[in-house]
Copies of this chain bind each other. A is one copy, B any other.
Amino acid sequence: MSVDAFLDRCRAIVGAGFVLDTPGDMAPFLRDWRGRFTGAARAVLRPGSVDEVAQLVRACADARVPIVPQGGNTGLVLGSVPDAGGTAVVLSLTRLNRIRAIDAVNRTITVDAGAVLQHVQQAALDAGCLFPLSLAAEGSCTIGGNLSTNAGGTAVLRYGNTRELCLGLEVVTAQGELWSGLRGLRKDNTGYDLRDLYIGAEGTLGIITGAVMKLYPLPKASITALAALPSPAHALQLLSLAQDRAGASLTGFELISEYCLELVATHFPQLPRPFATTHPQYALLEISSNESEAHGVALLEGTIAAAIDAGIVVDAVVATSVAQSRGLWALREHIPLAQAADGKNIKHDISLPVSTIASFIAHTEPLLQQAFPGCRLVCFGHLGDGNLHFNVAPPHGIGHEAFLANQANVNRLVHDTVVAYGGSISAEHGIGALKRDELARYKSPVELNLMRAVKAALDPHNIMNPGKIL
């Protein structure tokens, strides 16, 4: 089939206005979120219904045209943009953006894959429920993209990753068939777990078009504290103590190094510094209470007091108002912005067994200093999940762009050490095209072969997002 005939078939399915093929129309769909890469495509297809998605996939399957499924295109690993070859189409799900149903008693919300995360959060809130998935791109990213990358975010400690928030899926297979697995059940042991196979598959096995997601009771209050600590090892002790005392009420636990706060103070001097003196490390704790604000405050204050008594915490600030609480979270949220203002650095999205984090940092920082003298470590992250953003900035006096020449070597050192510690080279961002070679390097041949067998079984013509993951 000629390219023209294929595009005509697509136009017949979705209407000519939803097949974009000029460079100007296609540009926003081809550019990666961080602006590092721009791919090429035959066209961008914008279906308006699940049935149109299925028809388009059948058209692509017949013509053997590769498909790059795309949601909000906010991914960080080049998973949602096409390569430079120009043979693929982008299939954008953003027109499928309805909240299909909400069931406050079953505590579920059923949504189109293209629904924007923030709209889903708001729809839940309007029904008096919490949809806990929350991350920096929530104003643009879509649930389909969150599911396809198994997104993490700031509430994983309590509520899990996107995978744990999903009960049912609707998927258009690589053959263009519709699998209706939109079940809203907490227990269902009827055959293979296809749902979790499509979740995190980054669009390489099929296209998620809808999902049933879990909702939770809305906490009455969330209380925040910032604790100053002598070391990451003390942060681990504080985490254990807080979990023992608060259980599931501990909804956030972030590690922040002094250098991170220094960066924030340099680039955002208007933000308050919570302590008069500096400390090597800080932990941001959040306690949520379904009972009352007073209960949450007492629980958090009791936890901090016990940690001070035990010699774990040196100093602490407990936010006594919503504004103060937002101020503490603002310090954490401005770290990536301060880094960006400081200049480009070499990023790692790693996870480790929580118990090894202090020794991992103590082991890896000197290795980095030895290999790249004077380099600055920007280390922060979701300690409760074992997830660190372990970023390396150039030494003072060396340009950020020049230092990026070391990227491959810095990645190698960090990733080798992560794997030696039993960790993961991609905690929450996925593999995409960016980390495909790293995956091939670190996964065992047995695991790679199992993945290839699954891929070949569900996408025999290799049209679903080829070149991503595998």
Enumerate chain A interface residues (CB-CB to B < 8 A).
Answer: 103-108, 149-150, 152, 156, 158, 160-161, 163-164, 173, 177-181, 183-194, 196-197, 199-201, 205, 216-219, 236, 239-240, 243-249, 288-291, 299, 351-356, 382, 384-387, 422-431, 435, 439, 442-444, 446-447, 450-451, 453-458, 469-470
Q: Which residues from B are CB-within-8-Å of A425?
A: 190
16 residue pairs bridging A and B, Cβ less than 8 Å apart:
A106-B355, A152-B187, A161-B187, A163-B193, A181-B447, A187-B387, A187-B428, A188-B351, A190-B439, A191-B439, A192-B450, A192-B454, A193-B193, A219-B247, A248-B249, A249-B290
Check A190 against B443 for contact (C-beta < 8 Å). Answer: yes
Copies of the polypeptide in the assembly = 2
Check A186 against B156 for contact (C-beta < 8 Å). Answer: yes
Q: Decide yes or no: A447 and B105 within 8 Å by CB, A184-B422, A386-B186 being known contacts.
A: no
Nearest opposing residue in chain B for A298, CB measure: B291
Q: Which of A105, A180, A247 has the most CB of B within 10 A?
A: A247
Q: How far is the CB of A182 from chain B (nearest CB, A)?
A: 9
Q: Given contact pairs A192-B455, A454-B454, enumerate 12 new A-B contacts (beta carbons under 8 Å).
A: A106-B353, A106-B386, A180-B446, A183-B422, A186-B384, A189-B427, A189-B431, A193-B199, A197-B197, A247-B290, A248-B290, A457-B457
Top-5 shortest CB links A-B: A247-B290, A248-B248, A457-B457, A105-B355, A196-B196
Name the one of B351, B451, B458 contacting A186, with C-beta atoms under 8 angstroms: B351
A386 to B194, CA, bound (A): 21
Q: How far is the CB of A20 from chain B (nearest CB, A)?
A: 30
Check A431 against B243 for contact (C-beta < 8 Å). Answer: no
Name the one of B161, B243, B423, B454 contacting A457, with C-beta atoms under 8 angstroms: B454
Q: Decide yes or no: A351 and B105 within 8 Å by CB, A217-B247, A458-B453 being known contacts.
A: no
Q: How far is the CB of A246 from chain B (nearest CB, A)?
A: 6
Check A424 against B185 for contact (C-beta < 8 Å). Answer: yes
Q: How far is the CB of A164 from chain B (nearest CB, A)?
A: 7
A51 to B180, CA, bound (A): 40
Check B189 against A197 for contact (C-beta < 8 Å). Answer: no
Q: Which residues from B are CB-within-8-Å of A469?
A: 191-192
Check A180 against B426 for contact (C-beta < 8 Å). Answer: no
Q: Which residues from B are CB-within-8-Å of A216?
A: 247
Q: Decide yes or no: A191 and B156 within 8 Å by CB, A183-B422, A243-B217 being known contacts.
A: no
Name the one of B150, B184, B291 contacting A245, with C-beta atoms under 8 angstroms: B291
Q: How far is the CB of A291 from chain B (nearest CB, A)?
A: 7
Q: Which residues from B are CB-within-8-Å of A249?
A: 247-248, 290
A244 to B431, CA, bound (A): 38
Nearest opposing residue in chain B for A186, CB measure: B385
Nearest opposing residue in chain B for A427, CB measure: B187
Q: Which of A288, A382, A447, A455 has the most CB of B within 10 A?
A: A447
Check A290 against B354 for contact (C-beta < 8 Å). Answer: no
Check B428 against A354 for contact (C-beta < 8 Å). Answer: no
Q: How far is the CB of A196 from chain B (nearest CB, A)?
A: 4
Q: How far is the CB of A110 from chain B (nearest CB, A)?
A: 11
